[in-house]
Structure 1
Amino acid sequence: KVYWQVPQTPARDISVVKAQEMPVKKGLSSKEGQGQTLHEIANIELQAIDLGLRTLIEFPHADPCFRKQLVDIVLEETFHLKICLEGLEQLNYSWGDWPIHTSLWDSTSPQDDLLNRILIVHRYLEGSGLDASALLLRRLSGVSNSHLVSIVKKIANDEEKHVEFGSVWFHKLCQNGHKDSDKEFSFRLHQLKHRLPKKLGAINVSLRSKTGFTKSEINNLCQLRSDWLS
């Protein structure tokens, strides 16, 4: 019988710094700025792979359908990482040309129950990524690098499914446990906020609604953002 052990921090072969120590990004009109952006997205995708595998290891008795869908998500994240690295190569950059952080991984804990894990990874982290991708695509509208734009579009489209996966399973597990999902979301978000990365960008209400967030959940996210900005 094989026993998998989750590391405290995932191993990396390049420089790792705290998120607040990451270098300032150049503008997207520059080749360096485009490279930094792809490198940052690659780091996010790598952590998404790690987090998906972590959930599969730490919750072996989760619903088989949940686990199967999560495996599919991990495979998609793997493809996202691949196309980001290929995009870097096209710009004559390599993985490790900039430092990375592990703040997404650090927001999870071995003490998480499955609802917390889904909220953190798929509803907060990936949801925030969805907001950021929509903004990034608008900023890229004047950039001539069509390959970069196609990479971001592909990832953004797939992330919608990943966030919806989180919404569906959060609500389903709440229903199975006879819990009010809006109240659970509000309580858990408040309980977990001290270890979540502060996402100060605007909440994309349209995308959040499209991916299964209720009005109450969106209001809670907007309030959290407002609290952090004040």
Structure 2
Amino acid sequence: MTDLHQAAKRCLDASEPADKLRLTHDTWQAFLSGELRPSEGAPPPEPIAAPGRPLRPPLVPSRQVPHRGLGTPEGRAALVHAVAHIEFNAINLAWDAVYRFRGEPDAYYRDWASCANDEARHFAMLSTRLGELGHAYGNFDAHNGLWEMAEKTAHHDTARMALVPRVLEARGLDVTPGMIERLRSVGDERTVDILEVILREEVAHVAAGTRWFRHCCERDGTDPRDTFLDLLRDYMGPNLRGPFNRPARLEAGFDEEELDRLTQLALT
């Protein structure tokens, strides 16, 4: 196999976490070595469907996912599981961005293949931590919100770049510092160390979303700020939540005016 799109589809379809991690690593290495390249002759992308994932965890509406305190090992395991589930979904989201959107610059495919590899490494670290806490991925309920947004934005790269990395994944920049503080208060430095790595690397992933969203807007002759706000209103409605981690979002390519408008929208 020499076509990157089909290799991405193979990663996307893998259901067992170990297989998805192995294929992701191998695909990234093959891309780096030049063995894989996007092919103009590749079959067109199939309509979006559920990605490969294990039978567990059970997927429930987000409001039905229990919230547990961090004062017990089980509560901390539930938090680690929730983040691991986000990272597992993020592997699929990155590979779908490679598979689904054709004719993008080579740097676009490099960014999202690299992102998939990072997310796989994050998932592996969190899975190890879950084991240390006496649990495994699949032991707690989870929700499907990230992939539902992928389905809603499968028709256009502009919407995907705006709403998955710059909204849903960027939310991690906002909430992870609070998680770190709470975990540190209960003495869980092991999990803190992992989340600090993830937070640092997620800034680059959101920055990739910003970069390619603006590329799409430039290509289409639209204003990035207005387009972003319009997409937020259309897709997020009243579900946009603050507060926002301004320093991290600025590092990830947001500008001050954009953040001011984002804050105002979250308050309305």
Structure 1 and Structure 2 fold alike (TM over 0.5)? yes
Matched, 1:126 2:169: yes
- Aligned-residue Cα RMSD (Å) equals 2.0
CA shift, 1:118, in A, is 0.5
Matched, 1:107 2:136: no
Runs of 4+ in 1 over 4 A off after TM superposition: 1-4
> 183-192 or 77-86, which moves further after superposition?
183-192
Cα separation, 2, equivalents of 1:111 and 1:126: 17
Aligned to 2:105: 63
- Structure 1 57/95 Cα, relative in aligned 2: closer, same or farther at 3 Å? same
Aligned to 1:159: 202
Segments of 5+ residues of structure 2 without an aligned counterpart are 1-41
- TM-score, length of structure 1 as denominator length: 0.89
Conserved? CA contact 2:154–2:160, under 8 Å:
no
**Equivalent residue pairs, number:** 224
Report the 3-state secondary structure (helix = DSSP H, G, I; strand = E; otherwise coil) of the residue aligned with 1:107.
helix
- Give 1:37's match in structure 2, choosing from 79, 96, 101: 79
Deviations 1:177-228 (A, max 9, x none): 332211111222212224x9x353411122211211022321232133213x
Give 1:1-230 correspondences, 5 Å limit: 5=46, 7-10=48-51, 11-14=53-56, 15-25=58-68, 27-108=69-150, 109=152, 111-194=154-237, 198-227=239-268
Q: Which amino acid aligns with 1:174?
A: C
Seq. identity, %: 25
Segments of 5+ residues of structure 1 without an aligned counterpart are none
CA shift, 1:8, in A, is 2.4
CA shift, 1:140, in A, is 2.3
> 170-179 or 205-214, which moves further after superposition?
170-179
Q: Which amino acid aligns with 1:59?
A: F
